[in-house]
Amino acid sequence: MRFPPEFKVVRDQEKCTKCKRCTIECTFEVHGYDKKKKRMVANDENCVACQRCVFTCPTKALVIERRPPTFSDHPTWTEWIRRDIMTQAKTGSVILASMGNEKPYQSLFDSIVIDACQVTNPAIDPLREPMELRTYLGRKPEKIEIENDALKTEIAPNLKLETPIMIAHMSYGAISLEVHKALATAAKEQGTMMGSGEGGLHKELYPFADHIIVQVASGRFGVHEEYLKIAAGMEIKIGQGAKPGIGGHLPGPKITEPISETRMIPVGTDALSPAPHHDIYSIEDLSRLIYALKEATRYKKPVFVKIAAVNNSAPIATGIIRAGADAVVLDGFRAGTGAAPQVIRDNLGIPIEAAIAAVDQRLREEGIRHWGSIIASGSIRTSADVAKAIALGADAVYIGTAALIALGCTVCKKCYTGKCTWGIATQVPKLRKRLDPEKGAKAVSNLIQAWNHELKEILGALGINSVESLRGNRERLRGVGLSQPDLDVLGILPAGK
Amino acid sequence: MIMDAKGLHYKALNKLIEDAINNSAKKIKITNVNGQRYIGGGIKGNVEIEIHGTPGDDLGSFMDGPTITVYNDAQDGIGNTMNSGKIIVHGDARDIVGHSMRGGKIFVNGDVGYRVGIHMKEYKENFPVIIAAGSAGDFLGEYMAGGRIVVLGMKDSDSEIVGDWIATGIHGGMIYIRGKVEEHKLGVAAKIAEFSQEDRKYLRNLLKEFCKTFGYNVKKILDAEFTKITPMTHRPYGKMYTE
């Protein structure tokens, strides 16, 4: 017995020309042609509402509708809770999910507002005045010493960005080579960085390596001397916001020949990233890997360490920075993923807003804030989220899902199937072709450019002319409808105060 | 070329090695090594490094090509994510030998510690091999995805040849143990397969260079019972998930 379908395919038979385009576009086998009835039919049960057929239908004959809940209403036993229990009763398996946390927790970003200048502290017009978004990531010196008109102080390697917005780590394997190319091209065009993800780099990405931060995760896929040496920086992934404390399993069907080559695992096997790095069980062990990477690249590149945002992020981040990392990356509990157990994705970790504030505060209190940068990620949806993250204490942000949406992702949440109709989260050659890397690069580049403009507007309204002046400037934020403990954690005042 | 490591911090020592390699040194002998980490980290080419003393953790990590010989014991993490080349240890090596190793060889004439060969990989000609003459600790070959691990257990007849939790999550590659291994010592996803004449032949080839290095007789080594450990399936966790 199968569940009643979640969606309904509504076809305007008047408009439908029976061209069968929908049968080609759909990878979930929804559409078909009924020879007896001589018309197109749909199998609603398979529909995931990815909208591919709707967008591509030449006569716009299709609409996907949500079917009204078919279960009797109950506030505790929601339809989805009942569906999940029935599925697990049948299979005895862990429910797999894609994209970010789907539980309706309160959004802290949406409960924070940004200050603006009026009369006494004049705003700045970003159309007339220069506005600085340039951001440097890495360790900053205690003080600068000049000798004979030359810099005497040795400066640790920093990454120079033209915007505080970077493109998040999404692995080659989870997403296609074409997506990786599009993202890398956009990063280069916008003078920012793209994360490689944990699946290694395809050789075709090497020309973009000076705009790529390469990841070293517990599976160590695609990690070798050249990969480290050509990159702009390195990032050790300890944890991921969508699945804190657990490893990753890239499903076997996505391990095609080219993925097998890059990751060096058998074709068709699950790519297993163990929960811990098996050579890291303490801050001291972490420090050993940080310096192994620095030694292997002769101290020319910064090493970042990424953790999922959890209760103890602040002391852990201190340890990470003291262990020699040049930045700590905090990934919030709303972060996206190609595949994670639903129960983990929806229930583990803490909001990124709280983690940024707590880590920034702690590093300041210990007097080591300048030792390393803070990078925030996990559901940064708008330029306002970027501004709020920076004002809470971040130096820069990573955007993942937003960049994919720019490429055409409609968040249908079926990444783990490898059947992405938009050619993003797939390794199927004919689906991959659906995404043109050049057009994709333009779209992602446009998104970052638009957010840059908006960030400048926000800075102007705040009467400041550089993103550096926004960093950790919590005085310019106010909370709306937040409890006192929440306000205390965020280090902000309630609106009106 | 001879270097004295006495009193040198690892950063200074590794800089000396880097400079020597850049000046096209082909043979480097380092004396008085005393716990310096990352020796040979990320170096490449066909240089040979001889180490006298005890090197520190992560010897030859990310290394791509060179040969390192240690005439004493080695510590944790030798050959971490190594790409190609060879590490020869005349004494014991400790934990996490060849973590995520991608190619090349690690020969140890003594025992190896815990978590050896975790997440080893392979792709076509990139094929990592770890051979230990002594015994191995717990968690040998966990999450192994490729390559070969051989444990010969020839050093101390009293101790066990291999610890518990062998090859949990193995989905590629193979482990050979000289001696009998009880089924209960295996982790989830590993199984004991028949050790055939083919395997014996294969092993003879694999052991040739090892035996030459340390002066063993291949025939004598092979004249024993062997246990072959392989993955049960390429997708050990394939049925764990549903939509």
CATH number of the domain that A81 lies in? 3.30.70.20
How many Cβ pairs within 8 Å bridge chains A and B?
142
| CB nearest to A224's CB, from B62, B118, B119 | B62
End of a domain among A93, A123, A150?
Answer: A93
Residue contact B171–A91, C-beta within 8 A? no
The sign one gets for the Cα dihedral A158, A159, A160, A164 is negative
**Percent of chain B whose pLDDT exceeds 70:** 100
**Given this model, what pLDDT does residue A413 score?**
96
pLDDT at residue B235 in the model: 80
Of A42, A66, A93, the last residue of a domain is A93
- The CATH number of residue A345's host domain is 3.20.20.70
Q: Give the CA count within 13 Å in the CB-facing half-sphere of A373.
A: 27
Q: Of how many residues is chain A composed? A: 497
Sorted by sequence, the CB contacts under 8 Å of residue B124 that are 6+ apart come out as none
Whether B241 sits inside 8 A of A272 (CB atoms) is: no
Same domain for A217 and A308, yes or no, is yes
Determine the structural domain holding residue A319 and report its residue range.
135-494
Q: Collapsing DSSP states into helix, strand and coil, what is residue B230?
A: strand
Residue A467 sits in the same domain as residue A385: yes
In degrees rounded to 5, what are phi and psi of residue B67? Answer: -115, 130
pLDDT < 70 positions in chain A: 1
- Over residues B22-67, the pLDDT tens digits come to 999 999 999 999 999 999 999 999 999 999 999 999 999 999 999 9
Give the gap in angstroms from C-alpha A48 to the nearest C-alpha of chain B: 12
Q: What is the pLDDT of residue A365?
A: 98
Residue B157 has pLDDT above 80, yes or no: no
Indicate the residue of A225, A265, A288 with minimum beta-carbon distance to B62.
Answer: A225
- Residue A101 domain-assigned (yes or no): no
A364 plus A467 within the same structural domain: yes
CA distance B78 to B60: 6
Whether chain A has a CB inside 8 Å of the CB on B237: the answer is yes
Asked if the model's pLDDT at residue B236 lies above 80, the reply is: no
| Contact: B234, A220; criterion CB under 8 Å | no
Spatial distance between the Cα atoms of B74 and A41, rounded to a whole number of angstroms: 68
The total of structural domains in chain A comes to 2
Alpha-carbon gap: A381 to the closest alpha carbon of chain B (Å): 26
C-alpha distance from A95 to closest chain B C-alpha (Å)? 5
Residues A82 and A141 in one domain: no
Domain end point (choices A76, A93, A110): A93
Same domain, A341 and A460: yes
As a whole number of angstroms, the distance between CA A357 and CA A344 comes to: 23
Residue A306 and residue A378 in one domain: yes
Residues A37 and A186 in one domain: no
Element (H, E) at B142: none
- Return d(Cα A390, Cα A164) in angstroms, integer: 9
ipTM exceeding the 0.90 mark: yes
In sequence order, which residues have a C-beta less than 8 Å from that of residue B117 and are 6 or more positions away?
B97, B98, B99, B101, B130, B140, B141, B144, B147, B149, B175
Long-range contacts of range B88-92, CB-CB < 8 Å, 24 or more positions apart?
A: B88/B213, B90/B214, B92/B134
A99 in any annotated domain:
no
A2 in a domain, yes or no? no
Q: Do A272 and B42 touch (CB under 8 A)?
A: no
- Which residues of B fall within a CB distance of 8 Å from A261? 123
The amino acid occupying position A248 is: G
The answer to whether the CB atoms of A270 and B235 lie below 8 A apart is: yes
A91: chain B residues, CB-CB within 8 Å: 242
- Which chain B positions have a beta carbon within 8 Å of A87's beta carbon? 242-243
Same domain, A339 and A488: yes
Q: Best residue in B15, B121, B174 to probe A by mutation, most A CBs within 10 Å?
A: B121
Cβ-in-10-Å burial (0-12, 13-18, 19+) of B72 comes to middle
Q: CB of A330 within 8 A of CB of A307? A: yes
Computed over every residue of chain B, the mean pLDDT equals 95
Instruction: Give contacts of B 100-159 with A, CB under 8 A.
Output: 100, 102, 115, 118-119, 121-123, 126, 139, 142-143, 145-146
E strand spans, A286-445: 303-308, 327-331, 340-341, 373-377, 396-399
Q: B130, B144, B215, B158: which is closest to B186 by C-alpha?
A: B144
pLDDT for position B119: 95
Q: Is A96's CB within 8 Å of B172's CB?
A: no
CA A497 to chain centre: 34
- HSE (side-chain half, CA atoms, 13 Å) at A354: 21
**Within a domain: A277:** yes
Searching chain A, which residue's CA lies closest to the CA of residue B242? A95
Residue ranges of B 177-206 with Cβ closer than 8 A to chain A: none
Predicted pLDDT of residue A76: 95
**Residue A344 forms part of a structural domain:** yes
Minimal CA–CA distance to A200: which of B41, B61, B123?
Answer: B123
- Cβ atoms within 10 Å, residue A322: 14
Which of B61, B75, B82 is most worth mutating to test chain A (most A CB atoms within 10 A of its CB)? B61
Residue A357 shares a structural domain with residue A216: yes
Minimal-distance CA residue of chain A relative to B45? A225
The residue with tokens 């951001």 is: A135
A65-74, B120-129, B229-238 — most confident range: B120-129
- Residue A10, φ and ψ in degrees, nearest 5: -105, 120
* Residues A351, A333: Cα–Cα separation, whole Å: 5
A88 and A139: one domain? no
Q: How far is A296 from chain B (nearest CA, A)?
A: 4
C-alpha span between A43 and A6 (Å, rounded): 11
Listed residue (A268, A265, A255) closest to A174, CA to CA: A255
Instruction: List all residues of chain B from 61 to 100 with a beta carbon under 8 Å from chain A.
Output: 61-64, 76-77, 80-81, 83, 96, 99-100
A88, closest residue in chain B (CA to CA): B242
Asked whether residue A88 is domain-assigned, the answer is yes
Contact B38 A292 (CB under 8 A): yes
- Per-residue pLDDT tens over the stretch B110-119: 999 999 999 9
Structural domains present in chain B = 92-231 (2.160.20.60)
Q: Are residues A52 and A154 in the same domain?
A: no
pLDDT in tens, B189-219: 999 999 999 999 999 999 999 999 999 999 9
Residue A111 lies in a domain: no
Q: Is residue A332 part of a domain?
A: yes
**Which residues does A contribute to its contact with B (CB < 8 Å)?**
87-88, 91, 93-96, 218-221, 223-226, 228-229, 249, 251-252, 260-261, 263-266, 268-270, 272, 274, 278-279, 288, 291-292, 295-299, 341, 417
For A127, residues 6+ apart whose C-beta sits below 8 A from its C-beta are: none
pLDDT confidence of residue A1: 64
Closest in A93, A226, A278 to B240, CB measured: A93
A112-114 and A477-479 beta bridge pairing: antiparallel
Name the residue facing B41 among A264, A296, A341 (closest C-beta). A296
Nearest-by-CA chain A residue for B77: A279
Under DSSP, is residue B60 helix (H, G, I), strand (E, B) or coil?
coil
Q: Which of B96, B97, B116, B119 to mutate to test the interface with A (most CBs of A within 10 A)?
A: B119
- A140 and A32 in one domain? no
